[in-house]
Structure 1
Amino acid sequence: MFTEGDPRLGKLLDGIVRLAAGELHSRIEVSPARDELDAVIMGTNLLAEDLQIMYQELEQRVELRTRLLNEAHLEMQKMALTDSLTGLANRAALVSALNDTLTEAERGDLPPAVLLLDLDAFKGINDSLGHAAGDQVLTAVGERIKGSVRDTDTVARLGGDEFAVLMPATTLARAASVGNRILAALDSQVELENDSVQCGASMGLCIGGAGQSAEQLLMEADVAMYASKAGGRNRLKVFEPAMLHARQLRSQLIDDLRTAISESELVLFYQPVVALASGRIEGAEALVRWQHPSRGMVMPDEFIPLAEDAGLISELGGWVLRTAVRQLQDWRAEGRAGDDFSMRINISPTDLQRLEFIEEVRDALSGAGISPELLVLELTEGAIVSGNELDRYSLSSLRKLGVGLEIDDFGTGYSSISYLRKLPVDKVKVDRSLLKDLGTDPAQPDLIAAILQLIRACGLEAVWEGVETAEQARHLASIGCVSAQGYYFGRPVPADEFAAVLEAQRASHHGS
């Protein structure tokens, strides 16, 4: 038994207070008496030991959980700053690194340089070979860029086929040397699973200046890159302030083109397609022109690439389709165009990638009451030959709809008869370049005859373009070519002038 003045009571109370304060390692001394009070002390010590073990386990779990959370946070930070496809830095990481190097430059270091590049042929690769092949190309390009730069440089993919390189503390000459090394690395073919592709790049370079922001530097590199594109592919351009003015003009022209499409500032000119045997106009090719309010007539070679870059090519093509079909309806209603008079329009490879394009063609025809066989859609040879599954589906659907399909510029691209036999087309328009040496090159007549014979052997019709002289027209007629177009028969003219030509033909026919 213990007495009221037993010192162990004080030790017990003191121990309990320490335990309550969190000192779980403390223990209360057990006396030799081993009585009931010692039993309470021993029980308290056991409780303290259990609490200490539990607390240690809890600490370990908290430590593990904290470490896992930190790792997850770091992984999320890495993901937020990394391009998921290539493993390169992304735009956010590039801007952050660029801000750091600009700050260091303000303290006396050399300025940073930024290289911005995008691939010259990537859209065609993506469209023709599919997105999986496109992803392989982007990954390979990223590796080649990394292999061409210094360890201190940051390589980033900004999205799509656009890449950037940040070179901290450098000179213009050194940065240009790195840029040209990258272009050389990208100039060789990329080997894919079942194919190989060529994929050069256009590149802009700018050096940081006092007080510049990261976004300003990227914008100037972007301006230089577009100047590189305009000057010819696979080259490097260094930013110059004058380029900003050209960029502003280009942006203004894009805005103007968007307005022109919506407000019908565009006009169609028509060039006759002629039956060689009779000279009768059997159809017309619709060619778009832009009547700009201040710049006057803008030709397609200037604004069509602009429409493609700005994503306006489908809107432009839709306007041409609807306008040309309505014009054919008017000429038929006026009796100027006969029952077999056809309208030809050029369509973009982009249209074949849009499932709604088939419906747009169907709606344009039904809205104008025009039979599908009176519309001929012209596509470049490369667009048809290298098309992917969606392109082939679109071509097949157009054939089922009943419209004519024609290869344009035949003789400048693949020109393989094995391709010709498989393509879902009706006609082949032979490029003007194959006529230019007729009369000067003794071998040219045989070549022209052979091409015509091969096209016919594939069950197709040939239309020869670029006929400029009576001699060329006579030669084509003599070897059995059925149709042709070119300046000899008529230049592209506005609808009212073309209507007058049709009217004159009709009067001549009735008179005879």
Structure 2
Amino acid sequence: MKQPRTAASHHPETDPITGLGNRLVLEDALRDAQAAASNGTSPAALLLLNLDGFKAVKSSVGHAAADLILQTVASRIRAAVQENDVVTRLGGDEFGILLPATPLARAVSAGNRILAAVEPEINLGSANVRCTASMGLRTADPSRTPAELLMEADLALGESKAEGRNKVRTFDPATLLARQLERQIVSELGHAIGSDQLVLFYQPIVELATGRLQGSEALVRWNHPERGLIMPDKFIPVAEATGLIPELGRWVLRNSVAQLAAWRRDPATAHHDFSMRINVSAPDLQSLEFVDDVREALSTAGLPPESLVLELTESAIIQNNELDRYTLMSLHRLGVGLEIDDFGTGYSSIGYLRKLPVDHVKVDREFVRDLGKDDTQLQFLAAIQNVIRSCGLDGIWEGIETVEQAEALRSIGCTSGQGYYFGRPVSGTEFTAQLKRQETWPS
């Protein structure tokens, strides 16, 4: 098995900082191990190690001290493995370790031993620092190329960091499948926004005392030509990560207000006087064009501003920067409604409720779900309702699934609700049919 040369040799296959072999050495070692496994030897184990928060540490201590950290980590890894194990530096703060003919359980044990060896403080002279690390593990399957094995070990490394760091995460093929699906979604979502693949579903928001329709929340779905209806939790995070969320948001805005305008023009549905609710993302608030987009959509549809309510999560609305405040105040002056969504899952600060230019608060479904399980829960919800009312806001309660929940909330002064008891999200065609055949919700 090929071993790294010394730092002094400055060979093209040697990392000049740590003296370890580089990626070329690791790939050669992988090929040798796979060839041996094809002849009956147990597969090798590939470990990728990445230091947690190293960029911040480097900024704090400087380049020379950062190099000393890398050298120390390299020495500790080398000391924690066996002599014939291959230790390499792949660049930055990432190290690759190959354990020849090593069963999975023994590889996991070795990985934990390496992580423990890396963790003690490193003396930099003027300061001591402690570096934890995350690790991905992939068995060196002979059917995979070195590049594929490195990519799959890196996926496992990413899972380790996502799960809290400082642990060994073994590669799971399901992770690869999810990543492949994500890449496919990225490549197809832009086309879907510009074609007829996106559809809107609508869910009623109801006055608890009368069952009268107060609003309709527009919820986007992706009607994929091959995979069928894809729910938003599968593609909206991808849209956010790839910069497509503003384009997606504009599509929802234009089409939802156009649908509301169509309902108001139709004599069979026009007698229902309700608003359209749409979800707004944090990037929307950061866009200088967003207020103009809202104004143009309403103007094109011929709707007054008060017919639209924008739902914003607490985390999106409480960024406290100048652009967010400007956007919120501009929307408020325009006359559209502003609503904090999922209240109770984020900051939930009474101070923010009093200061923000919002009109409504939508209370998260988790609070309603516990009704009936705890005798004090209704008193707790009454306190929340009083706080919302004392701030001059309207409260909408999510997650109402039974008549008992609806009656309990009405008994403590709650005025508006949403949930499966009143109606599930349905297509525009089905919602139109509901508007035509019923006056109150549930039917």
- Return the alpha-carbon distance in structure 2 between the equivalents of residues 331 and 182 of structure 1: 67
**Structure 2 counterpart of 1:366:** 299
1:265–1:319 distance in 2 versus 1, CA, 3 Å: same
1:473 aligned residue (383, 389, 406): 406
Shift of 1:356: 2.1
On the 8 A contact 1:99/1:213 being kept in 2, the answer is no
**Structure 2 counterpart of 1:332:** 264
1:349–1:98 distance in 2 versus 1, CA, 3 Å: same
Deviation readout 1:347-372 (Å, 9 max, x if unpaired) = 11122222222222222122212222
Superposition map of 1:182-201 within 5 A: none
Shift of 1:254: 2.7
| 1:150 pairs with 2:74 | yes
On the 8 A contact 1:101/1:111 being kept in 2, the answer is no
Superposition map of 1:372-383 within 5 A: 372-383=305-316
1:215–1:457 distance in 2 versus 1, CA, 3 Å: same
**Structure 1 counterpart of 2:423:** 490
Q: Which amino acid aligns with 2:23?
A: L
**Structure 2 counterpart of 1:177:** 112
Shift of 1:327: 0.6
Mind listing any 5+ residue stretches in structure 2 that lack a counterpart? 1-14, 34-43, 79-87, 101-106, 121-131
1:460 aligned residue (393, 406, 425): 393
More helix by share: 1
On the 8 A contact 2:46/2:97 being kept in 1, the answer is yes
- Return the alpha-carbon distance in structure 2 between the equivalents of residues 271 and 250 of structure 1: 28
1:276 aligned residue (192, 208, 229): 208
Q: The residue matched to 1:487 in structure 2 has which SS?
A: coil
Q: Which amino acid aligns with 2:348?
A: S
| 1:344 pairs with 2:252 | no
1:321–1:446 distance in 2 versus 1, CA, 3 Å: same
Mind listing any 5+ residue stretches in structure 1 that lack a counterpart? 1-80, 82-87, 120-134, 158-163, 186-199
1:165 aligned residue (94, 113, 122): 94
RMSD: 4.2
Q: The residue matched to 1:462 in structure 2 has which SS?
A: strand
- Return the alpha-carbon distance in structure 2 between the equivalents of residues 338 and 183 of structure 1: 70
Deviation readout 1:101-141 (Å, 9 max, x if unpaired) = 54687799x9985346898xxxxxxxxxxxxxxx9699469
1:251 aligned residue (183, 198, 202): 183
Q: The residue matched to 1:454 in structure 2 has which SS?
A: helix
**Structure 1 counterpart of 2:360:** 427
1:257–1:450 distance in 2 versus 1, CA, 3 Å: same
- Return the alpha-carbon distance in structure 1 between the equivalents of residues 393 and 133 of structure 2: 38
Larger radius of gyration: 1
2:434 aligned residue (501, 505, 512): 501
- Return the alpha-carbon distance in structure 2 between the equivalents of residues 117 and 221 of structure 1: 15
The structure with higher relative contact order (CA 8 Å, sep 6+) is 2
Superposition map of 1:82-481 within 5 A: 97-99=22-24, 102=27, 113-115=47-49, 139=59, 149-151=73-75, 154=89, 164-167=93-96, 172-173=107-108, 176-177=111-112, 204-205=136-137, 219-225=151-157, 234=165, 236-239=168-171, 244-335=176-267, 336-338=269-271, 340-481=273-414
- Return the alpha-carbon distance in structure 1 between the equivalents of residues 160 and 308 of structure 2: 39
Structure 1 residues 350-359 or 385-394, which shifts more? Answer: 385-394
Q: Which amino acid aligns with 1:264?
A: D
- Return the alpha-carbon distance in structure 2 between the equivalents of residues 141 and 430 of structure 1: 46
Deviation readout 1:131-170 (Å, 9 max, x if unpaired) = xxxx96994699799599335864855xxxxxx5124666
- Return the alpha-carbon distance in structure 1 between the equivalents of residues 52 and 114 of structure 2: 13
Q: The residue matched to 1:149 in structure 2 has which SS?
A: helix
1:178–1:344 distance in 2 versus 1, CA, 3 Å: farther
**Structure 1 counterpart of 2:11:** none
Identity of aligned residues (%): 52
Q: TM-score, normalised by structure 2?
A: 0.72
Q: The residue matched to 1:320 in structure 2 has which SS?
A: helix
Shift of 1:436: 1.8
- Return the alpha-carbon distance in structure 1 between the equivalents of residues 195 and 47 of structure 2: 43
